[in-house]
Amino acid sequence: MRLYRTFAARPAPSSLGRTTPYAEYLLGGREQAAPIIMTSMTLRRLAVAWLPAILWMGFIFYLSAQARPLGTTPPLAATVAAHFGEFALLAFLLLWGQLCCTPEKGKGKGRLLLALTLSFLLAALYGASAEYHQGFVSGRDASWADWGLDGAGAGAAMLLTALWARGVLRRRARYRRTVLPAQPRREGP
C-alpha cells in the first residue's frame, strides 16, 4: 500500500493528461502533480509561503520610486549595506516560498540546488527591474554597480543557505549511519 502526501485527496490516474516539469518539481513527482483541489488550507499555505516575498518586493518598489528614500543622500557604506541586505532577504524569502510549496520538504539535493538557483535568479532579475525603474524617477539613476550589489546580496544569501543546508544534511546522514552495538555472542552451551 502506497501512501500519498499531496494536495489532492487521491493520486490522479495517468489519463488526466501531461504535467509540466516545473509542476512536478513543485509537487514532488508526476503522480503528485495532479490537478490541485484548492481548499482554504492550500490557499493559506500559499499565502504563508509567498506573501512575505511579495510584500518585500512591494517595499523595494516603493523605496525605488522615492526621489530620496531617506531624505538625504546616505553615505556609501549605508547604500552598499542597503542594497546587499534588501536583496539577500528577498532571495531568502523567495527560497522560503519555493520550499514551503513543496509537499515533501527536503527531498533530494537536486531540488534544493534548483530552488537556490531559481531564488538567486529571480532576486537578481528583480534587482535589474528595480534599477531600470529608478532610471525613470527624478533624482535617482540606474546603476550597474547597484545592480551588482543586489546580485551579490542575493548570491551571498543563497551561498550561506547552501552551506548551512550542507552541514545539516551531513549531520543527518551521520546520525543515520550510527549503528547500535551488536548483541554479545554467547559462547558454547
- Residue 73 falls inside a structural domain: yes
**Phi, psi (5° rounding) for residue 180?**
-70, 150
- Residue 181 falls inside a structural domain: no
Structural domain containing residue 73: 55-172
Give, in degrees to the nearest 5, the angle at Cα 22 between 54 and 33. 105
- Residue 12 falls inside a structural domain: no
Average pLDDT in the 23-42 region? 55
Rounded Cα–Cα distance for residues 68 and 158 (Å): 29
- Residue 1 falls inside a structural domain: no
- Residue 180 falls inside a structural domain: no
- Residue 46 falls inside a structural domain: no
Q: Residue 42: its pLDDT value, please? A: 75
Summarised one tens digit per residue, pLDDT across range 44-97 is: 888 888 999 999 999 999 988 988 766 777 888 988 999 999 999 999 999 999
- Residue 84 falls inside a structural domain: yes
Q: Residue 96: its pLDDT value, please? A: 92
Whether residue 3 contacts residue 31, with contact meaning beta carbons closer than 8 Å, is answered with no
Q: Greater confidence, 65 or 43?
A: 65
Q: Which residue has the cell 523567495?
A: 94
Q: Could you give the number of structural domains in the chain?
A: 1
Buried b / exposed e over 158-178, threshold 16 CB at 10 Å, is beebeeeeeeeeeeeeeeeee
Q: Which residues contact 92 (CB under 8 A, 6 or more apart)?
A: 119, 157, 161
Summarised one tens digit per residue, pLDDT across range 135-175 is: 998 888 888 999 999 999 999 999 999 998 888 767 766 66
Rounded Cα–Cα distance for residues 171 and 174 (Å): 5
- Residue 156 falls inside a structural domain: yes
Q: Residue 154: its pLDDT value, please? A: 97
Q: Examine the pLDDT at 129 and tell me if it is beyond 90.
A: yes
Which range of 6-15, 39-48, 69-78 scores highest in mean pLDDT? It is 69-78
Q: Greatest CA span in the chain, whole angstroms?
A: 95
Q: Examine the pLDDT at 3 and tell me if it is beyond 50.
A: no
